[in-house]
Amino acid sequence: MRLNWGTGVAAAYLLFAIATGGFAAFAMSRPVLLVSPDYYADSLREDQHLAARRNALALGGAAGLTSNGRDCIDIVIPADQAAGAAGSITLYRASDPAADQMIALSPDGTGRQVLAVGEIARGTWLVQVRWSAAGRDYYLEKLVNLK
């Protein structure tokens, strides 16, 4: 049996269809990890989040996050807010949502809290600090690369 150009075109289309179907099956079998399971409600709170970020920026150097890159993260809020501050610290890992951690904000009298992070996985983490004091909300975030 002799093959002509029509058979080649049909074979090319058939190979393309099989490859497309195979890729679609592969893509549908992969887990879909959303940044937030409740993203719609989160988007409605965006204005409050932006106001909290502006409030934290207005504090200047009185509030901040630093890390030595190995075993600790240092969080500082203003000393006059330390006693009445209520909030949380979130360690967000984009590559593994199961590794995310939420820690209560509990600064000492000077407004400082040191997180020991020697036991968590190495790599890039987004540290998010949210707190309320004197009727205002505040938000800080920083990417920290633990080695």
| β-strand partners of 141 | 128
Count of beta carbons in the 10 Å neighbourhood of residue 128: 16
CA-to-CA distance for 29 and 23, rounded, in angstroms? 10
The answer, yes or no, to whether residue 52 has pLDDT greater than 90, is: yes
Spatial contact of 126 and 140, defined as CB atoms under 8 Å apart: no
pLDDT 10s digits, 96-141: 888 999 999 999 999 999 999 888 889 999 999 999 998 999 999 9
